[in-house]
Structure 1
Amino acid sequence: MSERVNKKIIHIIRVVGKSLLFYLVAPLVTLLLIELLLRFGGYGDEDELFTRSKAHPNSYSIKSDYVKKYFPFSEVEPDLSNDTFLIEKPANGIRVFVLGENASAGFPWLPNGRIALIMSQILQETFSENRIEVIDLSVPGINSHGMLNLMSRVVKYEPDAVVIYPGHNEFYGALGPVSVDNVGTNREQIKLYLRLQRYKLFQLLKPLFIGSSGDTTGSRNKTESLIETIAKKVEVKPEGELYDKVLENYKSNLREMLEIANAAGIIFVGGIPVSNFSGKAPFKACYENITDIVKWRDEVEKGKAFLFEERYEDALLYFSEAGERYGVNSELQYYSGLALQGVGKRPKAREQFRKAVDNDCMPFRAATEFNREMAAMFRSHGQPFVSVGLHFDTTSVGKARGDEHFVDAVHFTLKGVVILVERITSELIVRFGGIRRPKPSSEDIDKMIVRAGMTQIDYAIAELRITDLRARWPYKERERTVPSFSTFRSEHVEELALDVKEGILSWEEAHKIYADSLYDLDEFGNAEGDYRALVVANVGDVVPYLRLAELLLHKGYLDEAYELLERSTRISTSLFALKWMGSILLGNGLSVDAISYLAKANKMEPSDKEVLYNITVAWIETDKIEEAKESFKELYQLDKEYHGIFSLAERIRSLSDE
């Protein structure tokens, strides 16, 4: 081939190459420019989990709109905690993040029934010299896909440990395969969807990318419960392709979270999910294995009639007959468990209850296989896991976890919450170098419930929430219920609880109204509980801290009052807090420290006689005679006969003579 031909071929290749390069690069440059324009124009949401707190500028708080991406179709806006943590982690800090869903978020006891809040109290009690930060990242309605996304974000915030309580929402929770917020069953596809959220261009074009995967029938109806909104009314066979796919995704998500934790040197504690065995029948029984449904139903109904008459042996005969002749499903396993429990065969009863959960065709409760895989995963990665199922069984009346620990299928009673948190926190304490806590006694549990700040309003709200939940799908087809209370409470408490349930008042507003009304009536003992509830919930209003501190000062609890006053100054500096902190320090012989607070109080209110008296004493105690004379002069000009003023004058005169 001639040199001239070669040059021509090379020229053609170069021209074609430049054209291809242009057509490849030009779209990318265009997309980049659009992205920059969208960012410059402030379009969309910033994909950041935390933001600088407005109330506490030196701290981070959870960015509430971050979790919107988990609910692309249902438009759910779940309530998140108001926990904050310092931007600069202190040298003595212990920082823990809690990942979970509805149960760990504290339903129906939220906000003060949260796992994270009770955990924080136990850790602070154990490591009193440390700055404890337990940040609750529980998001109602999510599952392990969302938790993995959260886990990948919290690592850079220097956690010492992460606690996770997953498992119940894998099918019907947000991004699950039978959720209206489904974007596909392929795990990598779900991860890609979540990663792309950081780009404004994707946010703009998101309906084009995921429109075919979702189900817009889930648009938020404000009268629906969370689960009614995000879950499809679809059965899931325990042994099927979809079930296996979800289990594999669950294992992969847990494995990736464990790898993230191990790579970062983080303690990662897994709470094995537990659920109500004896107190909750299967949500949906499958009947495809029943050979003659009519005859099977006849036998089962006869057995149930004997069961309700407490003729357990007779009931077992009919249940056994139905199973042997026509087949077994979750419904039969559950009622067989109740009959076996009735005749005292408790291990066999627990096994039947377990099978009933595992074979439920609406798996809202984590199955044994999911829990077994989770335990194996944590064990193989050298990370701790905690299972309270056996403890629940042994402390239940029928020796099978039931209504003593659960208010429904998966949400805990306060007793159940405390037991779970105690076991998980005890594991954390050991990992932090402490001593494992003993199993809590009934008395210990009661004390922790009180310390969590539970009041009559909280019990009333919880009762309304759980009654409403039980009246809706998937517990039953929706009924219109009239709100009512099983326990008599004051009319004011019931009205406030109803207003919270209906969204007229916030939880915080209801407690403030009730506490303030009791305070105004001089019912200080009753007001104390609701002010304490607000303080435990870490509300951003300074008044509950000051009112509670005032009540404690009247009772002589100076140390606890000082702690509350100090916490109140992180929200807003008040004259009351400054002068009482100074007075308490002065009474403890810490005159130098007292002066710093009393001087600020004096600057805030120069005519406060109590402040002038105390700061004069502090100046005398520190041998600052000239300063003492000046503050005494101001006090004398205000009130020549102020209590103790003559003895104060004598002390100044005595020191001056020296």
Structure 2
Amino acid sequence: MVESNPQDPVTPATKCPPKSRRRWMFRLAAVLLALSFFPVTEVVLRALNVGRNVNLVIPIEDNLLATTGDFTHQINGMADLAFYGTTDLSGPETRPFTLPRPDNTFRIVVVGGSTVIGFPYAPEFAFPRQLEMQLELQNPGLDVEVLNAGITAMNSFAVNELVAQCFDAKPDLVVIHTGHNEFYGPGGPASTAFQLSPELIRQTYHFRRWRSVQIVAALSPPPDNAGEDLLNVLPRQLSIPLNGPVYLQARTNYESNLRRMIKACRKSDTPVLLTTVACNLKDQSPLLAEWRNESIDGKVEWDSLLADAALLIQQRDYHAALNALERASDLESEHAMLSYRRGQCYDGLGDVQQAWAAFSEARDLDACRFRIPSEFHEIARRVADEHPHCHFLDLTAAMVADGYSDPPGYNLFLEHVHYNFEGHHLVGRLFAKFIQENIRSGRWNSDRVASSNEMQKSLGFLPEDDLAATSFAIEVLQTGPFAQTADRQSHIEFLTQRAGRLFELVPSDRRDVFAELSLNQMSGALPQHLLAEFEERGNKQAVELMRKCWKLRKPWLRNVP
């Protein structure tokens, strides 16, 4: 028996015998093979054109978009599939453009949720398109392109991913307009979709663009609630008390994602405009006004006092209503409906400052968080202030400075957060003015501003478009938590009366055709559906009008129906 000498040198052969070495090499090869399976499969699937390209920016030939001009790329209308399964969400707007960017072009990408894509209107009427037209009027000879990358129901997780991809379009400016979907949008802390950690949510959005992942998802059985309205599907937890754990998590997510977006813009050397988002304060009663007092003693009396106040407000006896509300506050002072009724009283009395404070407090105390809390506006301001290259626009303050001093209501909104045409016109004009003066360092010429009526004519806007949008708004108020709000009936009555007035504006020979359309036909491609019906009925004048309107809405398309 030969004893080993501790002085002998230790060689690789003595450390790892050949059999052991081969075994480890085999294991390593197996791991590498497993890791390479998905990348190799992905390359093969893309080469065979299996699955969908759901990147935000794609070559035009990938979608066979028939356009005028020499466009090379487009915003991909199927990019939303990366964020919420196979459900086809509204947005982004399919829009062609040219790369490299022409010298005389100022290109903007606007990212956000449903208010950006324009719901309940078609995207061509949303404020990004109106921003484009206002800037072109201010800068004759300049080709302004505003690419609309808004997607319904998306929060800052998805918007962060859109910002990361939008640089492929080589924009001169990125506009970030997001905030309403932080709680219930996919990845939100109260959402049914993607109940994961923030980092895993970001990685999930990345991998959902893979063709191999799409195939696996397609083979999976659809969820039981497939096809239901997102207002019913997305909320996992409706009640989110102010400063509770879910609220604080959403606040942290929002701030973190905003910082990521701003840093990405700085890294790409692209100017960025971060804005706050506005909402309906005056004419949207709280969706979930909860009794916050630990004791229910006095609740019956409190309910009675609130009912008395509501009746007195209807009678325009605002001082008596305030007295009733003051007695109610002795029993429960932090209640969304209490603040909302106070706002109505102050508004009726013409006390604008007090009305703003009360309506804002009602929004913040509303436990159903479809409207962004006021605190989030300050987060956006703080994040922008920390980054010198980031421009910031407080939209609500800009509205007030422009003469809209009262708390916003039906004058600008159809329901809780979605603008009417006047709202889109105002936001588009305010954005254009800020960009012209603060980013392009130009002069704002008030003589070169398109009015709301002029904008409607330029875009081929029809009474049917307004009527369709109002119909969608009525549907919203009959869905999910909106169907339970205290003033639901008055909200629906207002919109129903609005729909009646709009219907009278539709020429008599077009009313029956519109009345027979379904909500699905009204969505997105209204002129084509109307055109088909008018062709069948032999209404040549209406057919020509629909073709003209379609060309005005999408002038980049070569083939008009």
Q: Which has the larger radius of gyration?
A: 1
On the 8 A contact 1:141/1:227 being kept in 2, the answer is no
| 1:497/1:143 CA distance change after superposition, 3 Å | farther
Please tell me whether the aligned partners of residues 174 and 181 of structure 1 are also in contact (alpha carbons under 8 angstroms): yes
Secondary structure of the residue that 2:483 maps to in structure 1? coil
Match of 1:308 among 310, 314, 320: 314
Aligned to 1:240: 244
Q: Structure 1 CA distance, aligned partners of 2:362 and 2:222?
A: 30
Partner residue of 2:459?
A: 452
> Which residue of structure 2 aligns with residue 136 of structure 1?
148
User: For the structure 1 residues 437 and 375, does the alpha-carbon distance in structure 2 shift closer, same or farther, using more than 3 Å as the test?
Assistant: farther
Question: In the alignment, is the contact (CA less than 8 A) between 1:455 and 1:533 conserved in 2?
Answer: no
Question: CA–CA distance in 1 between the matches of 2:458 and 2:41?
Answer: 52
Q: Which residue of 2 aligns with 1:644?
A: none
Contact 2:155 2:179 in 1 (8 A): yes
Correspondence for 2:167: 155
Cα displacement string for residues 349-383 of structure 1 (whole angstroms, at most 9, x for unaligned residues) = 21010011111101111111111110121122122
CA contact (8 A) 1:284 1:362 kept: yes
Q: Do the aligned partners of 1:464 and 1:501 also contact (CA within 8 Å) in 2?
A: no
Cα deviation per residue 1:582-619 (whole Å; 9 max; x = unaligned)?
A: xxxxxxxxxxxxxxxxxxxxxxxxxxxxxxxxxxxxxx
1:486 counterpart residue number: 500
Q: Secondary structure at the match of 1:172?
A: coil
Please state how far the C-alpha of 1:110 moved relative to its aligned partner.
1.4
User: 2:57 is matched with which residue?
Assistant: 50
Deviation at residue 91 of structure 1 after TM alignment: 1.8
Cα-to-partner distance string for 1:188-222 (whole Å, 9 max, x where unaligned): 111111222344454455699xx9xx99454223x
Q: 1:40 aligns with which of 38, 41, 44?
A: 44
For 1:190, give the aligned amino acid. I
Q: 1:357 aligns with which of 363, 379, 401?
A: 363
Instruction: Measure how far apart 1:427 and its partner are.
Output: 2.0
CA distance, structure 1, for counterparts of residue 403 and residue 141 of structure 2: 37
Question: Following TM superposition, by how much is the alpha carbon of 1:264 offset from its aligned partner in structure 2, in angstroms?
Answer: 1.9
Deviates more, 1:296-305 or 1:59-68: 59-68
Determine if the alignment matches structure 1 residue 102 to structure 2 residue 108.
no
Report the equivalent of 1:264. 268
The structure-2 alpha-carbon separation of the partners of 1:48 and 1:533, relative to structure 1 and needing over 3 Å to count, comes to: closer
Residue 392 to residue 129, structure 1, CA distance change in 2 (3 Å): closer
Corresponding position of 1:283: 287
* Matches of 2:40 and 2:380, distance apart in 1: 42
Is the 1:455–1:530 Cα contact (8 Å) retained in structure 2? no
| Contact 2:292/2:332 (8 A) holds in 1 | no
Give the match for residue 509 of structure 1.
528
CA contact (8 A) 1:511 1:531 kept: no
Distance 1:414 1:245, change over 3 A: same
Paired residue type of 1:537: K
Q: Deviations over 1:637-657 (max 9, x none)?
A: xxxxxxxxxxxxxxxxxxxxx
- Report what 1:540 is aligned to: 557
SS at match of 1:325: coil
How far off its partner does 1:84 sit? 1.0
CA distance in 1, matches of 2:187, 2:435: 30
Cα distance change, pair 28–51 in 1 and its aligned pair in 2 (3 A):
same
Using the alignment, how far apart are the partners of 2:109 and 2:500 within structure 1?
37
Q: In the alignment, which residue of structure 2 is the partner of 1:71?
A: 84
C-alpha separation in 1, matches of 2:482 and 2:256: 30
3-state DSSP class of the match of 1:310? coil
Identify if the C-alpha distance between structure 1 residues 108 and 198 changes in structure 2 by more than 3 Å, giving closer, same or farther.
closer
For the residues of structure 2 that align with 1:439 and 1:301, how far apart are their CA atoms?
Answer: 50
Taking structure 1 as reference, are residues 100 and 256 closer, same or farther at Cα in structure 2, changes over 3 Å only? same
Deviation at residue 477 of structure 1 after TM alignment: 5.3
Q: Distance in 2 between matches of 1:267 and 1:381?
A: 11
Cα distance between partner residues in 2 of 1:266 and 1:38: 31
Distance in structure 2 (CA, Å) of the matches to 1:433 and 1:220: 47
Measure how far apart 1:127 and its partner are. 2.8
Instruction: Tell me the alpha carbon deviations over residues 265-322 of structure 1, each in whole angstroms, 9 at most, x when there is no partner.
Output: 2121122101111111111112132643222212211211211111111111111111
Q: Report the equivalent of 1:341.
A: 347
Percent identity between the aligned chains? Answer: 18
CA shift at 1:329, angstroms?
0.9
Distance 1:515 1:61 in 2: 31
Give the residue type in structure 1 aligned to 2:473.
Answer: I
Q: Which residue does 1:434 correspond to in 2?
A: 442
Tell me, yes or no, if structure 1 residue 122 matches structure 2 residue 129. no
On the 8 A contact 1:93/1:133 being kept in 2, the answer is yes
Rounded Cα–Cα distance in structure 2 between residues aligned with 1:274 and 1:385: 14
Q: Kindly indicate whether the alpha-carbon contact (under 8 Å) linking 2:138 and 2:445 is maintained by their aligned counterparts in 1.
A: no
- Alignment RMSD: 3.4
Q: How many residue pairs get matched? A: 531
Alpha-carbon separation, structure 2, partners of 1:153 and 1:160? 14
AA at the equivalent of 1:67: D
Choose the corresponding residue for 2:5, options 2, 6, 11.
2
Match of residue 30, structure 1, among 25, 28, 34 = 34
Matched position secondary structure for 2:74: strand
Letter aligned with residue 127 of structure 1:
N
TM-superposed CA distance for 1:166, in Å, is 0.2
Task: Give 1:465 deviation, angstroms.
Answer: 1.5
Return the offset for 1:247: 0.7
Gaps of 5+ in 1: 545-658
Question: Residues 440, 245 of structure 1: CA spacing in aligned structure 2 closer, same or farther, 3 A cutoff?
Answer: farther
TM-score by length of 1: 0.73
Helix, strand or coil: the match of 2:124? coil
Distance 1:323 1:514, change over 3 A: same
Distance 1:518 1:44 in 2: 40
CA distance, structure 1, for counterparts of residue 179 and residue 445 of structure 2:
26
CA contact (8 A) 2:54 2:82 kept: no
The one-letter code of the counterpart of 1:420 is V
Paired residue for 2:234? Answer: 230
Q: 1:112 to 1:192 in 2, by over 3 A?
A: closer
Work out whether residues 138 and 448 of structure 2, in 8 Å CA contact, stay in contact via their aligned partners in 1. Answer: no
Partner deviation per Cα, 1:323-353 (whole Å, 9 max, x = no partner): 1233321111101111122223221121010
Question: Deviation string for 1:401-441 (max 9, x for gaps)?
Answer: 11111111111121111111111122222312321355999
Which among 464, 479, 504 is matched to residue 472 of structure 1?
479
CA distance in 1, matches of 2:475, 2:420: 16
SS class of match (1:497): helix
In 2: Cα distance, 1:112 partner to 1:38 partner: 35
Structure 1 residue 394, shift from structure 2 partner = 6.9
CA distance in structure 1 between the partners assigned to 2:122 and 2:508 by the alignment: 22
